Amino acid sequence: MKIYLVGGAVRDELLGRPVQERDWVVVGSTAAELLERGFKQVGRDFPVFLHPKTGEQYALARTERRIGPGHADFDCHATPDVSLEEDLARRDLTINAMAQSSDGGLIDPHGGQQDLRLRLLRHVSPAFREDPLRVFRIARFAAQLPGFHVHNETLALMQAMTPDLAALSGERVWMELAKAAAAPCPARFFKVVQAIGDTCWFDALDVPETIGLLHTRTFEHRDQALAALGWVNERGAIDPVYAKLRAPRIIRQAASAVATHGRALADPATDSDTLLRALTAARAFRPGGLAALVLETVACCADFRPAALLRLVAELQRLRVDAAPGPDYGAALREQRLAAIDAWQRSGG
């Protein structure tokens, strides 16, 4: 049995980047042997195991062959005679197809080191097209590695794969988009999408405007960047896209509220009735973090500080009226909120 560090950990060490997680390939072993050593298998039919102490992933060296249209439709062959080189050959990019032995030696059969120096995202082999999710993985890597560029031949291969993208699950595409949104340059995800052409996932969006927004704004966290797509895309576009991607509910609601009411929330000249409707749509008077996410996202998109608006929301949340529950209470509370908004606006916010 031989064990090698592989993939992103090797790449990031060579780039001098923090290593987030370490994955290992085991050559010359079997599932039974790893189970005897206390490893826990991840899934019944997949040769990936968790180390009994570190929890890191150890995978048997394997080859794969596509047998269907979906991301998981592969025939996996993992036996002791599968070599490290065969395992590396099935990987997506040359910079992810390197391994490191226990003595620190580097195994690089596909020129990954050279492509790191050239800052290239280049596919390992034509087998790249067997997994359509790789199209969006490359877009995500472009966001995570801003200085890297997709090789022309790899881009052409990705463009040829567009008919296969419809077979992907929304959850898997969302995962790549969400990782890109947390990356240093999320706009580059959509630049790659734009270069690919028809992806069947993001075609309803105004991609150039989305790129421009993500390029010119710096968001505090991933959810803000994802909700911000509502600033440059109408609700009729962003809602079905996020529904198809099965985005988390709070992000779907936030993007929808930003699309519908974002300008009203950002404009100091908005009348009190319109502002109250916008705050109500953002669920400012219900528990949960939706309102804060909407207001902070709008503030970033429109380039203003949300502190005053958040103070107004806190003040409105504290309002109570002396009336019995029912229609009269709701009407009285609404009048008090409108009066408080008028006073807030007269004071200059």
Predicted pLDDT at 64: 79
- Domains, the chain, in order of start with CATH, read 1-119 (3.30.460.10)
Mean pLDDT of 228-233: 98
Residues 6+ apart with CB under 8 A from 212: 187, 232
Model confidence pLDDT, tens digit, residues 181-219: 999 999 999 999 999 988 899 999 999 999 999 999 999
Strand 99-100 relative to strand 74-77: parallel, antiparallel, unpaired?
Answer: unpaired
Mean pLDDT of 209-230: 96
Predicted pLDDT at 262: 96
State how far the Cα of 308 lies from the Cα of 111, in Å rounded to an integer: 54
State how far the Cα of 156 lies from the Cα of 142, in Å rounded to an integer: 16
State how far the Cα of 42 lies from the Cα of 10, in Å rounded to an integer: 23
- Asked if pLDDT for residue 69 goes beyond 70, the answer is no
Find, among 297, 286, 142, 288, the residue nearest to 224 by Cα: 297
- Contact yes or no for 88/6 (Cβ under 8 A): yes
- Contact yes or no for 345/272 (Cβ under 8 A): yes
Q: Is 270 helix (H, G, I), strand (E, B) or coil?
A: coil
DSSP letter assigned to residue 128: G
Mean pLDDT of 139-163: 96
Model confidence pLDDT, tens digit, residues 286-314: 888 999 999 999 999 999 888 989 999 99
Q: What angle do CA 125, 23, 145 make, to 5 degrees?
A: 60
State how far the Cα of 295 lies from the Cα of 308, in Å rounded to an integer: 11
Predicted pLDDT at 73: 61
DSSP string, 205-240: S-HHHHHHHHHH---SSHHHHHHTHHHHS-HHHHHH
User: Residue 328: which pLDDT band, with cuts at 50, 70 and 90?
Assistant: confident
State how far the Cα of 345 lies from the Cα of 252, in Å rounded to an integer: 30
User: How many other β-carbons are positioned within 10 Å of the β-carbon of residue 162?
Assistant: 15
- Asked if pLDDT for residue 282 goes beyond 70, the answer is yes
Is the CA virtual torsion 162, 167, 168, 170 positive or negative? positive
Residue type, 235: R
- Contact yes or no for 34/48 (Cβ under 8 A): no
Predicted pLDDT at 77: 84
**Lowest-pLDDT range of 52-66, 135-149, 165-179:** 52-66
Question: Can you read off the two tokens belonging to residue 11?
Answer: 């790449």
Question: Can you read off the two tokens belonging to residue 8?
Answer: 């992103």
- Contact yes or no for 26/3 (Cβ under 8 A): yes
Find, among 96, 116, 182, the residue nearest to 143 by Cα: 182
Q: What's the whole-number average pLDDT of the chain?
A: 93
Find, among 182, 183, 171, the residue nearest to 133 by Cα: 171
- Contact yes or no for 41/49 (Cβ under 8 A): yes
Is the CA virtual torsion 163, 169, 172, 177 positive or negative? positive
